[in-house]
Amino acid sequence: MTDTTTASPAPKSVKDHAQDLGKEHSIWFKLTPFMKGDDPMGTVNRLLKKMNGVVPIKMRDEKIFMLGKVEHFDRIFVKKVDQYEKFFSGLEPIFGKSMITVDGVLWQNVRTPQQKSFHPKVYAEYIPYLQDALDKKEELWAQRAKSGEPFEMVEETWTLACDMISKALFNREFPINAHAVYSAVKAYTSVSNHNELRVKKVHDGLEEVTSDEAAAGAIEAWHTVPDAIMNSKPWDDREKYLLQLFQDLEADPENPTYDHEQAVDEMKQYLWAGTETTALTMAWCIYNLTQHPEALAKLRAETEEILGDRTEPTWDDLLKMTYTRSVIQETMRMYPPAWGLIREATEEDEIDGHKIMPGDKVVACCYAVHHNEDYWSDPSEFRPERFAKERMKKRVKYSYMPFGAGKRACIGGQLAMIENTMALTQLMRRFEPEYVGPSPVPFNITVTLTPKGGLHFKLHERDVA
């Protein structure tokens, strides 16, 4: 009997992938013209408004369509979701073949077992683990307040979110310096780093990209993280948590989807995508609150009313913190971490008179819809009251997309809300952040919407006696 089985190709090595960095075919470079200046999203919004919600971009042999209407989102994320596949060109080393990048049957097989870890009944079990990470950050902030030295808030919230995820989902202390990992991830996901490598190749001829290069070295550092977590000592003696689920699936011969590589890749998506988006939201929340002291006062009043002298909230407490959640939701409207969601067409389609062919890319501009006067009054204004329960019922469907939409919406969206609610109530109760950066804050848009140069703060202890 002849064996006709084809062996799976070996995973691309870190060195091999480094040679591909900065290739001109990457969609991130093709969007570079929209990333210039301090207000790139303003440029995108103006173009979308001028061109009735669709901006076609023709670059060599590829077409990209930027979309900015709710009916477009309904079409590509819900009605014709199977005709528009996920597209994460250039981010494979960060996410591998995890749930966030794959599609079809594999996506279903990967996602289904994980859903039990993101059920409301389970979230209450995560609170002590999230609280421990917060307690440690609070002590660090006390030292920062005492020193009076300025610091960068996104890095600070990233390391907090990383610790929260590690403890709640993986039952591990983060075994590597989280600040070093943050630097590595940012070096890789910054398009400018890739662009420098590409320009170097163009002008100097092809040459090997070594791990000393910022982006290549970042890949090398990132690859060590998941196994380091797996091999570290469990933080608690609980039996059920997400990492244990991955390990059980990996050991199950009847579930071939979850080999060791799959388990590692799933951890990557939580340690990057889950951490990055939560951290950006948290940092932007703190910025918004410092710019709107009346909102900060309301948030603190809600905390005092619900928690009193207690520091660790219960699940019921978190459900009552409606104003704090509104602050978070309004912040994600103004500064959606995923400013644009990219999909690749697999079949011919037509959107507002524009023919979409297989292989064409569409970019659902969430930021544009979040700032569209047709869906939001005074969209540039920070108004948490927009998300009061009675007003949310009147919201136009798909005009708010911080976690995507349809069957592929982010699995960890509610967990991110819990992390941010706990962080804001605890840290804002004790500290008075002072923003010391430029105003307005300039943007940098790559994979996520980030503050150019970061968000710089000083901390002061509050006198709450």
Average pLDDT along the chain, 465 residues, taken 10 residues at a time: 38 62 63 72 91 89 92 96 84 77 85 91 94 97 97 96 96 89 75 64 68 74 86 92 94 89 90 90 98 98 96 95 98 95 95 96 95 96 95 90 89 94 98 96 85 95 81
Helix (H) / strand (E) element for 203: namely helix 191-204
- Which residues in 150-249 belong to E strands, given as ranges? 151-152
Q: What angle do CA 107, 109, 114 make, to 5 degrees?
A: 95
Predicted pLDDT at 370: 97
Predicted pLDDT at 195: 64
445, 143 in Cβ contact below 8 A?
no
| Helix, strand, coil in percent for the chain, rounding step 5 | 55, 10, 35
259, 11 in Cβ contact below 8 A?
no
Cα–Cα distance for residue pair 211/220, rounded to 1 Å: 7
CA distances to 37, 339, 346 from 41, rounded to whole Å, are 10, 9, 28
Predicted pLDDT at 460: 97
349-351 and 431-435: which strand pairing? unpaired
22, 197 in Cβ contact below 8 A?
yes
DSSP 375: T
263, 435 in Cβ contact below 8 A?
no
DSSP 404: B
- Which residues in 315-455 belong to E strands, given as ranges? 340-345, 349-351, 354-356, 361-365, 431-435, 443-445, 449-451
Cα–Cα distance for residue pair 235/461, rounded to 1 Å: 30
